[in-house]
Amino acid sequence: MKIVKGFFLVACVIFMTGCAWLPWGKHGSANAPQKTEDADAPLKVQRIVEADLLKDGENILIAPFTAGEDVRATEEMDKDALMLVRGVYDELQEKKSWFKIITAETVEKSDFLIEGHITKISEPSWFARFILRKKKKTFGVEGKMTDLNTGRIIFSFEDEVSSGKKGTTYLDLSHLIGVRLARFILSAVQTIQ
């Protein structure tokens, strides 16, 4: 009988500690605030080369970002690249900027070109997601803005955002980088005025 009680106690201890990671309600660990990148945060790395060229034009062509060295080119990655363009567009519209995003049909009217690569799309491994309960997704880009009239680089940039928030997609993260890129462009214009 003592063996059965001992076995039962050990089984209960293992069961209770093994299920400690499950969300138990409002105050459980699953609802703890998670650190996410903010749209107000600046781009991680920016190198302004010739910001004064920004005052000479208004039409920006954004080439969809392509897969970088360690990123696999997929249909989803293409959607992420387009969402980055959408983020720039949304922010410029919201701030009522004089800059306009040019489409492929009116490419000859563009004054500036933003191009780059997606350098990182990552999420935790299967083990980290399901056993360690890590859900942090990361999305990174690098690129440059060029004046098409002179061929000179106005600035180059790199950025990376991460989120462990439930329901966050790479589309959300790429849109966030687009918003931050647009804010950087607008702040660069303010430095020359």
Identify the residue with better confidence: 19 or 191.
191
Kindly report, residue by residue over 18-76, the tens digit of the pLDDT: 444 433 333 233 332 233 446 667 666 677 777 778 887 888 888 888 888 888 888 98
Query: Within a 10 A sphere around the Cβ of 14, how many other Cβ atoms?
Result: 10
Q: Report the predicted TM-score, pTM, of the whole model to 2 decimal places.
A: 0.71
Query: What are the tens digits of pLDDT across the range 77-111?
Result: 899 889 999 998 999 888 888 888 887 777 788 88
Rounded Cα distance, 155 and 148, in Å: 13
Q: Tell me if 98 sits within 8 A of 92, measured CB to CB.
A: no
Return all residues near 128 (Cβ < 8 A) that are at least 6 apart.
134
Superfamily of domain 33-192: ABC-type transport auxiliary lipoprotein component (3.40.50.10610)
Model confidence at 127, pLDDT cuts 50, 70, 90, reads low
Residue with tokens 């993260």, as numbered in its chain: 173
Domain positions in the chain are 33-192
- How confident is the model over 61-82, as pLDDT tens digits? 888 888 888 888 889 889 988 9
Name the average pLDDT for the chain. 75
pLDDT band, residue 193 (cuts 50/70/90): low
